Amino acid sequence: MLTSALRVTKPDPADLLAWYDRHRRDLPWRAKPGETADPYRVWLSEIMLQQTTVAAVKPFYQRFLERFPTVTALAEAPVEAVMQAWAGLGYYSRARNLHACAKAVVDKHGGSFPAIEAELLKLKGVGAYTAAAVAAIAFGEPAAAVDGNVERVVSRLFAIEDPLPKAKPQIRALTQEMVPTDRPGDFAQALMDLGATICTPKRPACALCPWMKPCRARAAGLQETFPRKQKKETGPLRKGAAFVVLRADDSVLLRTRPPQGLLGGMAEAPTSAWETDYEPSRAVLDAPIEARWQRLPGTVRHVFTHFPLELTVLFAKVPKGTPAPDDMRWTPRRELPGEALPGVMKKVLAHALGEAAPVKGTPKGKRAQSA
Ligand code: SF4
């Protein structure tokens, strides 16, 4: 909820712009002070910067621009040439959309990007952030370009308690309120620079920030705790037992999980069912094989997306020649790294077999007691 108090302490965009005039980053796609921004370059850089860092984009941007200096040149190029020039930037759907967008700009807009945010938004591969950024930077529209960096800055400025993504509309509204009508493009770029260089995710340099005084998170000393994150919903703890059987020929009993469902098709030491009310003291009743079972001290814990799991581990040695029960098999211990063992099973085997049987992916000597 926005309160009147928040509105009163609203940071002044002029302070940010004054800071930007002194500290703006010199980026190849950015117009110099006094120059008019080229919509093609702004759009191209924004698409390249989606999911990619500035440092990685810089050399690609230069080469791409030399090859396709205008939106018309890009539209007229075969898609294969565009894909080739994009190679190395990843997320190839962006390159396909880029080409389709260039064609639409040429075919439907006469080779000029539409100057309105709402029209830009209709172009392929242009989302809310890119449309607002191009509209503000290239056409001077007072549009609020809000990406992850801006969300971080604004959520800290106003100490927004709602977690993301719930806070997005509030962040957007607060950003929009601050966009100045005279320099919207510089304001967008200033916010980008502030988020990238000062208001960083970890250890923001608040002492250098032009908005240090009005920043509510900084005043409370809680800047790193914003934006608030949604707590992960996890289900109740499930428990079960895992059975590690070592045959005298140094083989371990394994089975393959059903193809469907959790950890489908992966290998595992046999286990009981995993239940919230599982009683570990009765685990031996679920053992896959008759043997002298030894309950190992401690438990193995693992957190799946939807629930945490705690496994009691039972261990047994059996004589050479002991057959595997139906749907199970013996795997020589040295071949365990070649089995498709999920993390939880690597922990179970490391817990039972210890350093004598390092399992690929489990740090040597680490007895897995917790997730
Ligand atoms: S004062 Fe610190 S936390 Fe607040 S906006 Fe500036 S850098 Fe970010």
Do the domains spanning 4-225 and 238-356 agree at the CATH topology level? no
- The domain made up of 238-356 is a member of CATH 3.90.79.10: yes
Catalytic residue among 46, 151, 268, 339: 46
Tell the burial category of 61 from Cβ atoms under 10 Å away from its Cβ (0-12, 13-18, 19+): buried
Q: Is the CB of 211 under 6 A from ligand 1?
A: yes
Tokens 């890119």 — which residue? 130
Q: Is 106 in the pocket of ligand 1 (CB under 6 A)?
A: no
Pocket test for ligand 1, best of 12, 155, 175, 223 (most atoms within 8 A of CB): 223
**pLDDT for 118:** 96
SS3 content of the chain, % helix, strand, coil (to 5): 45, 10, 45
**Helix 79-86, helix 92-109: angle, nearest 10:** 140
**Nearest-angstrom CA–CA distance, 46 and 42:** 6
What does 147-200 look like in DSSP terms, one character per residue?
A: -HHHHHHHHHHTT--SPBTTTHHHHHHHHHHH--SS-HHHHHHHHHHHHHHTS-
Whether 141 is catalytic: no
39: burial class by Cβ within 10 Å (0-12, 13-18, 19+)?
buried
**3-class DSSP assignment, residue 91:** coil
- Ligand 1 atom 3, closest CA: 223
Q: What is the pLDDT of residue 289?
A: 95
The domain locations on the chain are 4-225, 238-356
Cβ neighbours of residue 238 under 8 Å, at least 6 residues apart? 274, 275, 276, 278, 307, 308, 309, 310
**Nearest 10 degrees: CA dihedral of 339, 343, 347, 349?**
-10
Ligand 1 midpoint to CA 216 (Å): 9
pLDDT tens, the chain, 371 aa long: 444 444 446 799 999 999 999 999 999 999 998 889 999 999 999 999 987 889 989 999 999 999 999 999 999 999 889 988 887 777 677 888 999 999 999 999 999 999 999 999 999 999 999 999 999 999 999 999 999 999 999 999 999 999 999 999 999 999 999 999 999 999 999 999 999 999 999 999 999 999 999 999 999 999 999 999 887 767 899 999 999 999 999 999 999 998 878 888 889 999 999 999 999 999 999 999 999 999 999 999 998 888 999 999 999 999 999 999 999 999 999 999 888 888 899 999 999 998 444 444 333 333 332 22
Mutation test of ligand 1: which of 206, 224, 225 has the most ligand atoms closer than 8 Å to its C-beta? 206
Count of residues making up the chain: 371
Beta carbon of 156 within 6 Å of any ligand 1 atom? yes
Residue 152 Cβ < 6 Å to ligand 1: no
Beta-carbon neighbour count of residue 346 at 10 Å?
21
**What is the 146 CA–ligand 1 centroid distance (Å)?**
16
- Residues 248, 250: Cα–Cα separation, whole Å: 5
| Single-letter amino acid, residue 357 | A
C-alpha angle with apex 73: 67 to 79, nearest 5 degrees?
Answer: 80
65/111 Cα distance (integer angstroms): 16
Query: What's residue 34's pLDDT?
Result: 85
**CATH code given to domain 4-225:** 1.10.340.30
Report residue 5 as tokens: 């108090």
| Ligand 1 pocket, residue 212 CB under 6 Å | yes
Distance CA 358, CA 351 (A): 10
* Cα gap 59→85, rounded to integer Å: 12
